[in-house]
Amino acid sequence: MLITMERIVKKHKLAIRWFHWINFPVLALMIWSGFLIYWANDVYRIGFGDTTLLKFFPKQFYDLFSIPQRLGEGMSYHFVFMWLFFLNGVLYILYTGISGEWRELLPDKSSFKEAWQVMLHDLHIRKKALAQAKYNAAQKIAYTAIILMGAGSVITGIAIYKPVQFGWLCWLCGGYETARVIHFTLTIGYCLFFIIHIAQVIRAGWKNFQSIITGFETEGTIPDLPEDHNNQTNTTAN
Amino acid sequence: MEKEILYTKKQVQRKNIIAFSVFIFLMMAAIAAWIHVKNLPLDNGLLGGVQPPIRKVLNLNEKIFSRSLDSTHLAKTYPLSFAVKKARVNGDIGMGEDFDPATWKLYVIKANGDTLTLSLEDIKKLPKTEIVFDFKCIEGWSQVTHWGGVKFSDFAAAYHLNNEVSMKYVGMATPDVEYYVGIDMPSALHPQTLICYEMNGKPLPMNQGYPLRMIITVKYGIKSIKRIGTMYFDNERPPDYWFERGYDYFSGL
C-alpha cells in the first residue's frame, strides 16, 4: 500500500507567533484608546493655509467608533496596555537578537533596490518574481521599520507621559508638542501598515496565513511513497 | 531555505486542528476577559470612574513612577518673554456667578481641628515666587504661562503646618465645593508648587480663579485648582473631582 506524503516547511517559530498575536490585539487597543485621548485636543490636519484637505478626524469617523467624550477612559486603557505593548516588543527584540532570527529580518544594502522591484512585481508591473529568502526585501524593510516605529512610539510616549521627569527626552523629541505629533503620526503609520499587511496576506493566500497560526506551510505532496518510509525523513530542500 | 519535513495528510490535518483550536481558544479567552473587565461596575458608581482592575494598574503606575523618580525634579522654566499674554481659560467648575470676592477667606483646617482663616493680604505678606513654565492640560494642549504667588512650602512653614505636611495628602475645594482636588504631599511641597494670586504680573482674572489658585508644575492642570476656599490634610486620598470621573488620581508629569 502506498501513502501520500505532504511536504511541509517550518516557517514561524512558536515564539514569533506568540509575539505577533499578542501584539495584534494590544496594539489595536492602544490605537483605539489613543484616539479616545487625541479627540480631547484634535488639532491635527493635512492642508495648507486655511485649506484643509484632511482633518483628523472627521465627525463620521468619531461617530463610527463612538470616540467623543471618553478622554479619561482612553487614558486609563492606554496606561494599562502600554506595559503589554512595551514588554512584548522588548521580548521580541531580545528573542530575534539572541536566536539569530534578526538575520532574516534586517535589510541590507541591496534590500532597498530590491524592495522597489518587489513592489513593481506586487503591483503587476514587473512580470518576473524575485528569488527570495524567507522574507523578501520589501518585507525585511517593513518588518524592521515597524519595530523602529514601535520604539519611536515608546520613546515619544514616555516624553508625553512624563514630560517633567523626562524633560531631556521631551527635548530630544523636539519638545512636548512635537513629541505628540510624532506619537500621532506613528499611529497613523501603524494603520497604513495594517492595511498593506492585510492586503498582502490576502494576496499571498490561505496557506501563507495559516503558517502564522500553525507555524508551517504545506508545499504540495510527494505521491507514492512506500508505507514503511520513515515519515519524519528530513530531505534537503533545493 | 527552511527545513522540509514529510508528514502524512492525517498528521498535517491533526496539527492544523490543534494549532487552530488553541489559537481560537486563546483569542476567545482574551476577548472574554476584555468584555468581562469592560462590564465590571465602575469604582465610582454615580459619576463613573474606571473598572477596579484598571484602577489597580493606574495606582501601581503611580507607585512605580513616584518611587523610582525624584519628586523634587524641576519642570523646565522659560524667560518671561515666552509667556503668552492671554492664557487659555479651560473649565469653570466651581467658578459660580454668586461668588462674592469681598467675603472670600482661605480656610485652612489644621490636623488638630482648628481652622486658620486667612485673607489675601495675609498670603501676599509671605515671600513671593514667580514662575514661567509650560502649563499642561490633560486634554493634550500646553501653554507657556507666567504666574506669581507663594510657594506652598513657604506657606506651610510660615503657618507652622509641620504636623499637616507630614500627612500624605492635602485636599482643597472651591468656596462652593463644586470643584475639589487631592494632591500628594511631595507634589504639594515641590519647590515650584505655588499658591498663586497673580497671572502676568496682575491679580488673577475671575475666570483664572481669583483670588487664589494652585499652580502645580508637576501635574496636569486638573490639579491646579482655581479659587481655593478650603484646605485640609489627610493620610487618605481626599476626594478629587476628576478622579471620581475616571481619571488617574496622581496625574503626575
Please identify which residue in the block is written with the cell numbers 497560526. Answer: A213
Question: Distance between CA A161 and CA B251 in Å, rounded?
Answer: 10
CA atoms within 13 A on the CB side of A100: 0
In a domain, A234, yes or no: no
Q: Given this model, what pLDDT does residue B2 score?
A: 53
Of B8, B168, B69, give the one whose Cα is nearest residue A231: B8
- Alpha carbon of B223: minimum distance to chain A alpha carbons (Å): 15
Q: What is the mean pLDDT of chain A?
A: 88
Q: A40 lies in a domain? A: yes
Is A23:A16 a contact under the CB 8 Å cutoff?
no
Q: Which of A6, A76, A176 is facing B6, going by the closest CB pair?
A: A6
Residue A158 lies in a domain: yes
For the stretch B170-216, pLDDT in tens is 999 999 999 999 999 999 999 999 999 999 999 999 999 999 999 99
Nearest CA in chain A to B134: A176
- Share the mean pLDDT of chain B: 93
Read off the pTM.
Answer: 0.90
Whether residue A238 is contained in a domain is answered as: no
Residues in chain B within 8 Å Cβ distance of A219: 4
Per-residue pLDDT of chain B (253 residues; tens, 9 = 90+): 456 678 888 888 888 999 999 999 999 999 999 999 999 999 988 888 999 999 999 999 999 999 999 999 999 999 999 999 999 999 899 998 889 999 999 999 999 989 999 999 999 999 999 999 999 999 999 999 999 999 999 999 999 999 999 999 999 999 999 999 999 999 999 999 999 999 999 999 999 999 999 999 999 999 999 999 999 999 999 999 999 999 999 999 9
Report the chain A residue with the minimal C-alpha distance to residue B61: A79
Ranges assigned E (strand) in B54-179: 106-109, 115-118, 129-136, 142-151, 169-173
Rounded to whole angstroms, the Cα distance separating B110 from A121 reads 77
Query: Which residues have C-beta within 8 Å of that of residue B100, sequence separation ≥ 6?
Result: none
CB contact under 8 A, A76 and B58: yes
Domain holding A16, by residue range, is: 2-226
Q: What is the predicted pLDDT for the residue at A123?
A: 83
Domain spans, chain B: 71-234
Is A145 a member of any domain? Answer: yes
Query: Is A25 in contact with B30 (CB distance < 8 Å)?
Result: yes
Whether residue A233 lies inside any domain: the answer is no
Q: Shortest CB distance from A162 goes to which of B8, B27, B253?
A: B253
Which residues have C-beta within 8 Å of that of residue B177, sequence separation ≥ 6? B94, B229, B230
Quick one: pLDDT at residue A1?
57
What are the pLDDT digits (tens) for B108-117? 999 998 999 9
| The CATH number of domain B71-234, selected from 1.20.1250.20, 1.10.490.10, 3.30.70.1230, 3.90.420.10 | 3.90.420.10
From chain B, pick out residues whose CB is under 8 angstroms from the CB of A163: 134, 136, 253
Is pLDDT of A97 > 80?
A: yes
Q: Number of folded domains in chain A?
A: 1
State the CATH number of the domain containing residue A10: 1.20.950.20
Residues 6+ apart with CB under 8 A from B113: none
Asked if the Cβ–Cβ distance from B58 to A219 is below 8 Å, we say no
Q: Distance between CA atoms of A154 and A34, rounded to whole angstroms?
A: 13
Residues of A in contact with B139 (CB under 8 A): 40-41, 71
Residue holding cell 501653554?
Answer: B143
Selecting from A40, A76, A229 the residue whose C-beta is nearest the C-beta of B246 gives A76
Residue type, B137: C
The 10s digit of each residue's pLDDT in A184-223 is 999 999 999 999 999 999 998 988 899 999 988 888 777 6
Domain membership of residue A231 (yes or no) is no
Asked if A237's CB is within 8 angstroms of B4's CB, the reply is yes
Residue of A nearest to B62 (CA): A79
Over residues A56-72, the pLDDT tens digits come to 999 999 999 999 999 99
Residue A134 in any domain: the answer is yes
